[in-house]
Structure 1
Amino acid sequence: MIKVQMKDRFWNKYMEVVRKEVIPYQWNALNDRLPDTEPSHAIENLKIAAGEARGEFYGMVFQDSDVAKWLEAVAFSLENHPDQALEETADELIDLLGRAQQEDGYLNTYYTIKAPEQRWTNVRDNHELYCAGHLIEAAVAYYQVTGKRKFLDIMCNYTDYIDTVFGNEEGKIRGYPGHQEIELALVKLFDVTGNERYLELSKYFIDQRGQNPHYFDMEREKRGDTNPFFYHHGYEYHQAHEPVRDQEKAVGHSVRAIYMYAAMADLALKTNDDSLRKACERLWDNLTKKQMYITAGVGSSEFGEAFSFDYDLPNDTAYTETCASIALVFWAKRMLDLETNSKYADVMERALYNGTISGMDLDGKKFFYVNPLEVWPKACTRHDKRHVKPVRQPWFTCACCPPNLARLISSIGHYMYSKDDNQLFVHLYAGNQTDVELNGQMVNIIQTTEYPWDEKVTLSINPETADSFTIALRIPGWCKQPELWVNGERIHVGIVSKDGYAYIQRTWEKGDHIELLFPMPVRRMKSHPSVRVNAGKVALQRGPVVYCLEEVDNGKNLSNIYLPKASRFDVTFDKDLLEGVVTIKGDAVRIDPNAWEDNLYASNDDEQILVEIKAIPYYAWCNRSPGEMLVWINEV
């Protein structure tokens, strides 16, 4: 793990919001201290399970996972900003988890409190293994950051127990979780413990999925369940319709799917499994080339929070759960570990600057679960758009997204780089400093930039002694004319590039520096012709940032705005708007509704009004006056 000290204006702002606002806010939520919101009861559930309070279990069956994600966000926050009081609070919560753990290692408040005799009777629906996975991830992060083993030991104890329950051996359950998560967590646990059983257990859950006879059928019949929800969705909802190595398309619940794909990529790397690698590559191509929004939102259907079918990407009913875009970041990084190819880092970057952080207000106090690309507030009262909210919400009954976003933002430094013995790969551009071991010596790397607003990036390379190694720099796919200098000498990018990375191999000395220029003209992005809803429309993108129109800047009825092909754009950095953003302005025309008088339909030509449009970054919409929002603009 490369530890990075972030010194970036863009991301440090978000990290500070998470540290100062989101983590305390979510701690209050977990302790039922937020007014006018659905109580979480998550901490109270733990106290009841530990025998320290009386009462009934309250909340979703996966309520424990909110605690886990909060702890993981705390761990990564402590990595960047040591905070003794926060660490003591986390330690006290970990102690409570230890007291809530049962003698055999089991740790799940829903079953401990509500149904102690029904453990593992409904792994399809009731998230026991999902909660365990999130707790494992949190324990690994907390151990890596603080060096404290207590939480890790608690989860090793639980995992050892799970390993006695599931497997192909006689007397074990031959099942797998309905909501994938533990698979990728087990690989993390293997990484820090070296215990091969954890890797084997992850592999078992992946290999067992989709095999016949179907475990979900056997489990359902055993408990006498005739749940129509499952039959309505089918096996595809859980990605259990066929063995994972045979799957060709991303189907079913989007978060479940992508967590599983991330684990598959992990296992492909750890076990050198070429069949898993090829499955990951097929699924990646299907998802990113046929089922992904321009914001890197995924999962277009509200029904089942799921993928729909190829090129079905409606804007105004888009589900695009925040957690799904976060999961895409996780998967992209693992695909980069499998193969250094900019197509993975490009999607990771697209998700980070667009489809993830759109899920949170700039002040960190309200959240989107759903991230549409077009909003007409009046229409949000319709039954088919009931999932679309015109404003962010203070909390959710199913509160998976806010803590998931907090742990991602707090760990953003972990996505910047990767390395092998003598190569450092630079995947993302942001102000930071890190020390990495290359060729047996420590090399200090300082990255300076005002990305994503500014086109320039500088890296200072400082080995302890002069040595030969390689720095591989991602050339973003959106950048058509990149420029590169080393110590002032121009390097032809095309000559040194492979799979979207520029490889600079040389003897580096302290004080050497790399300069990159990524020109950021405003680009008119178009959809594949099969994306019917975007026919004749364009989206504006500058650098990695996707833009949108808001009613507060452009008036009502945004769908009546047309952008002429000849229009030019003015780009301005406004330090006082939305905490500092680049805005895009340009000439456009608007259909004049007054010319229609009282007619609903007419054959007359439209009367048009010349207007100036103003576009802001999509991630920052709905931080001023509520109103309409539009990403895809008519072009004429």
Structure 2
Amino acid sequence: MKRLLPVSLQNVHLEDDFWAPRQQLVRDVVVPYQWKALNDELPDVEPSHTVANLKIAAGEMEGTFHGMVFQDSDLYKWLETVGYVLAIRPNPELEALADGVIDLLARAQQPDGYLNSYFTVARPDARWTNLRDDHELYCAGHLMEAAVAYYQATGKPKILDIVRRLAEHIDRVLGPEPGKKRGYCGHPEIELALMKLHRLTGDELYLRLAKYFVDERGREPLYFALEAEARGEKRVRPYNFKYSQSHQPVREQTSAEGHAVRAVYLYSGMADVAAETDDEALLAACRRLWEDIVSRRMYVTGGIGSSAYEEAFTVPYDLPNDRAYAETCAAIGLVFFSHRMLQLEADAKYADVMERALYNGVLSGMSLDGQRYFYVNPLEVWPEVAEHREDMHAVRTTRQPWFGCACCPPNIARLLASLGGYIYSVDPDTNTAFVHLYIGSQAAVSLAGQDVRLIQRTRYPWDGEVQLQVSASAQAEFAIALRVPGWARRVEVRVNGQPVASSWESKGYVYIRRVWRDGDTVTLSIPMPVEEVFAHPEVRMNAGKLALQRGPIVYCLEEVDNGRNLQSIVIRPGQTWTAQYEEGLLGGVVTLQGSGWRDVIRPQGEAVPREFGHGQPLYAFQRCAREETKVKAIPYYAWCNRTPGEMTVWVRYES
């Protein structure tokens, strides 16, 4: 199966006003902060006990296991982040700290290769008895991802040796052969991790295991039912097999169901297996599931998973704003899935979704200072009501310093640290370099037998002007493919200042093939007007409302700029918005400023309207009066970094 090859993180250096400071924040603030959290050194934060659990498992501490059954995975994602940070810039002190963690993992690993602190400490006789709920394979997968990242950054094999022994142990326990359990994980993740190991080492064991986990899922008899029966499980409510995407074989699934993070992790692993094995049926399933997500189940921010119950997809077009779950990890998983599909089919629609999630649904999950996090990402917040809801976790109005279930903080850190690996791809068969994301950077690639450096300069996402300079020691013929964002009304492409005569467009990319010389420069100009976004009519909660978008950035209104009761604001479609860069606001953002109206009560006998207050009727036979008001919108990702208050993405409109 033909596929693009992503340009690796090691060959891309970010030089971007928007993203480079965020990578620096991960390196200088987020990684040390999260290490303190994992090591129970943050004051006024519930202890994580993650490092302590492994020390107990290694026999180096007395104590009992504390935390979630998958607590180890938080440390593994932190270690993966460290690998990406070291790949970008050496740091001897951080590397020594990570080496110490790896040494601890080696000491905690059991003689048979098993490694999981929860079962080693708390339930040594229950290993591999509840794959549905107990996350053993999920934790193993995150350790495998960390091993690949750390080895690629440092060349040190110790962590690879640990995961090799663990994978060999898993292969002895699980599989289709006689005497093995025909099981798979309740929380997919190991599938994509095994594929990373396979691509790094070439070892067919990892491909075989990944393919088995994908192929076996959902086959009759359903393993999770057999496993529960063997445990003597009695449930008040029958288990929902859709929750873990195990209700039917993956090639037969036509809609995204169940826990959103599990879903997109599974689909990412499916795409990897399809690519490696030329499995067209599996690829077709990936296409169907991706289309179902983005056309019927995705928020305008790129968030997915609308229900707090089971953190799941519900029915098509059910996208409530104030009860949106939209877990940060789910948006991250959608980036993973879209990036993999993009390598299989050079179609800009995958990059469009990847970009939408990155700039909106992912970035909103972490505060600008890197020390507060959202687990869930609502599109509308009324703080006073949120305080009284039972599902309060789904409507947090302030970011938290850490979580008892802390999957999101290290997840966003590892994605931001590895962002360089998502910008470019190469098609070696056609000698084509693809530019998927517009991020200031330098990329080293091989094209037409030449070492070529692509130097990208831009102020994106605030400005749509992109320059791509070619640096090469000798001239060579190859193609450069530039993505035309789905939100763009038109683009202009020039080479060395002149309109391009020999270019063509295919699936959202402009291709320019020519003999390139050192210093040749491509300029892509993308106008960035303020766009009004309207939801599909089936999205009932957005009827009569619109959202604002400029470039890839989705905007929202906050109470601090617009006053309370944001739902009383009405704007008119087609009005003029002023886009203004404010350097001193929220780390430097483009804000949108316009005018609208606010519904108010005009008491009898008073000429000057005032906002609704005590003593006014709850219902009346005439509509509210309106007064003109100024409206200011900020990027959604930056909300809740100032005075807490109301927020909304969707705003009422009247023609």
Q: TM-score, normalised by structure 1?
A: 0.98
Q: Which residue does the alignment assign to 1:223?
A: 231
Alpha-carbon RMSD across the aligned residues, in angstroms, is 1.1
What's the offset of the Cα at 1:605?
Answer: 2.8
Is the CA contact 1:567–1:588 (under 8 Å) kept in the aligned structure 2?
no
Find 1:605's aligned residue among 620, 623, 634.
623
Shift, 1:81, TM fit: 2.3
Where does 1:548-559 land on structure 2 (aligned, <5 Å)?
A: 548-559=556-567
Deviation of 1:385 (Å): 4.1
Alignment-mate amino acid for residue 645 of structure 2: G
2:359 counterpart (353, 359, 363): 353
1: CA distance, partners of 2:644 / 2:291: 36
> What is the 5 A alignment of 1:364-375?
364-375=370-381
Cα separation, partners in 2 of 1:613 and 1:62, compared to 1, 3 Å: same
C-alpha deviation, 1:463, in angstroms: 2.2
Which one of 245, 254, 274 corresponds to residue 251 of structure 2?
A: 245
Which residue of 2 is the match for residue 125 of structure 1? 133
Please state if 1:417 is matched with 2:435: no
Aligned AA (1:443)? V
Alignment counterpart, residue 75 of structure 1, candidates 70, 76, 83? 83
Match in the other structure for 1:491: 500
Cα distance in 2 for partners of 1:331, 1:32 equals 33
Give 1:263's aligned residue.
Answer: 269
Q: Which amino acid aligns with 2:482?
A: L
Structure 1: runs of 5 or more not aligned:
none
Deviation at 1:165, TM superposition (A): 0.9
Q: CA deviation at 1:384?
A: 4.8
In the alignment, which residue of structure 2 is the partner of 1:516?
524
- Partner AA of 1:284 in structure 2: W
Mean Cα displacement is larger for which, 618-627 or 19-28?
19-28
**AA at the equivalent of 1:418:** S
Q: Which of the residues 449, 458, 467 maps onto 1:449? A: 458
1:405 to 407, 412, 428: 412
Q: Residue 9 of structure 1: SS of its match in structure 2?
A: coil
Q: In structure 1, what is the equivalent of residue 609 of structure 2?
A: none
Aligned to 2:586: 578
Separation in 2 of the partners of 1:475 and 1:106?
Answer: 48
Contact 2:602 2:624 (C-alpha < 8 Å) held by counterparts: no
Q: Tell me how far apart the structure 2 counterparts of residues 146 and 485 of structure 1 sit (CA, whole Å).
A: 40
Find the counterpart in structure 2 of residue 149 from structure 1: 157
**Aligned counterparts of 2:480 and 2:601: Cα–Cα separation in 1:** 57
Structure 1 runs (4+) deviating above 6 angstroms are none
1:431 pairs, out of 419, 440, 450, with: 440
Contact 1:570 1:586 in 2 (8 A): yes
1:27 aligned partner: 35
Tell me the distance in 1 between the aligned counterparts of 2:510 and 2:198: 33
2:242 match: 236
CA distance in 1, matches of 2:623, 2:307: 36
Q: Secondary structure at the match of 1:605?
A: coil
- Give 1:619's match in structure 2, choosing from 598, 617, 637: 637
Q: Normalising by the residue count of structure 2, what TM-score does the alignment of the two structures yield?
A: 0.95
Asked if structure 2 preserves the Cα contact closer than 8 Å seen for 1:291 and 1:313, the reply is: yes
Alignment of 1:68-467 (within 5 A): 68-228=76-236, 231=238, 234-387=240-393, 388-421=395-428, 422-467=431-476
What letter is aligned with 1:269? A
C-alpha distance 362-568 of structure 1, shift in aligned 2 (>3 A):
same
Asked if the contact 2:87/2:152 (under 8 Å) is kept, the reply is no
1:376-412 per-residue CA deviation (whole Å, 9 max, x = no partner) reads 0011123354121010011100000000000000001
For 1:56, the equivalent position in structure 2 comes to 64
Deviation at residue 191 of structure 1 after TM alignment: 0.6
Q: CA deviation at 1:300?
A: 0.1
Q: String of CA shifts for 1:300-321, please: whole Å, max 9, x gaps.
A: 0000000011000000000000
Checking the alignment, whether the CA contact within 8 Å between 2:480 and 2:513 is kept in structure 1 is yes
Moved more, 561-570 or 205-214: 561-570
Q: Equivalents in 2 of 1:164, 1:228: separation in Å?
A: 34
| Separation (CA, whole Å) in 2 of partners of 1:279 and 1:211 | 16
Q: Is the 8 A contact 1:390 1:626 kept in 2?
A: yes
- How much has 1:420 moved relative to structure 2? 2.1
For residue 491 of structure 1, report the CA deviation from its aligned partner. 2.5
Please give the per-residue CA displacement for 1:47-73, whole angstroms capped at 9, x wherever unaligned. Answer: 111111111111100000001000011
| Separation (CA, whole Å) in 2 of partners of 1:412 and 1:492 | 33
Cα deviations by residue, 1:145-176 (Å, 9 ceiling, x for unpaired): 11111111111111011111111000011010
Aligned partner of residue 311 in structure 2, secondary structure? coil
| Cα drift, residue 564 of structure 1 | 1.3
In structure 1, distance between residues paired with 2:471 and 2:25:
32
Distance 1:633 1:249 in 2: 30
The separation in 2 between residues aligned to 1:63 and 1:560, in whole angstroms, is 44
Work out the CA distance in 2 between the residues paired with 1:544 and 1:590. 28
Shift of 1:464: 2.2
Task: Give how far 1:330 is off.
Answer: 0.4
Paired position in structure 2 for 1:635:
653
- 1:441 Cα deviation (Å)? 1.9
* 1:227/1:492 CA distance change after superposition, 3 Å: farther
Matching residue's letter, 2:414: R
How much identity, in percent, do the aligned residues show? 55
Please give the alpha-carbon distance, in whole angstroms, between the structure 1 residues aligned to 2:71 and 2:488: 43
State how far apart, in whole Å, the 1-side matches of 2:73 and 2:574 are.
51
Q: Secondary structure at the match of 1:363?
A: coil
CA contact (8 A) 1:483 1:492 kept: no
Aligned 8 A contact 2:532 2:573 in 1: no
Alignment partners' CA distance in 1, 2:501 and 2:84: 38
Of 20, 23, 26, which aligns to 1:18?
A: 26
Bigger mean CA offset, 462-471 vs 286-295: 462-471
Amino acid at match of 2:625: E
CA distance in 2, matches of 1:348, 1:71: 24
1:45 — aligned with what? 53
Specify the SS of the correspondent of 1:162.
Answer: helix
Query: For the residues of structure 2 that align with 1:363 and 1:327, how far apart are their CA atoms?
Result: 23
Provide the rounded CA distance (Å) in 1 between the counterparts of 2:60 and 2:391.
43
Q: Which amino acid aligns with 2:423?
A: M
**In structure 1, what residue type is equivalent to 2:259?**
H
Cα deviation 1:82-138 (Å, max 9, x = unaligned): 211011000010010011011111110001111111110001000000000000000
Q: State the Cα distance separating 1:592 from its structure 2 match.
A: 1.0
- Relative to structure 1, the CA distance from residue 492 to residue 370 in structure 2 (aligned partners, 3 Å threshold; closer, same or farther) is farther
Matches of 2:90 and 2:98 in 1, distance apart? 12
Deviations 1:414-439 (A, max 9, x none): 00011121111110001101111112
CA distance in 1, matches of 2:627, 2:16: 42
Taking the aligned partners of 1:212 and 1:383, their CA distance within structure 2 comes to 40
C-alpha contact (below 8 Å) 2:557/2:649 kept by paired residues: yes
Question: Taking structure 1 as reference, are residues 594 and 484 closer, same or farther at Cα in structure 2, changes over 3 Å only?
Answer: same
Checking the alignment, whether the CA contact within 8 Å between 1:137 and 1:185 is kept in structure 2 is yes
For the residue of structure 1 that corresponds to 2:210, the secondary structure is helix
Contact 2:253/2:289, CA 8 A, preserved across alignment: yes
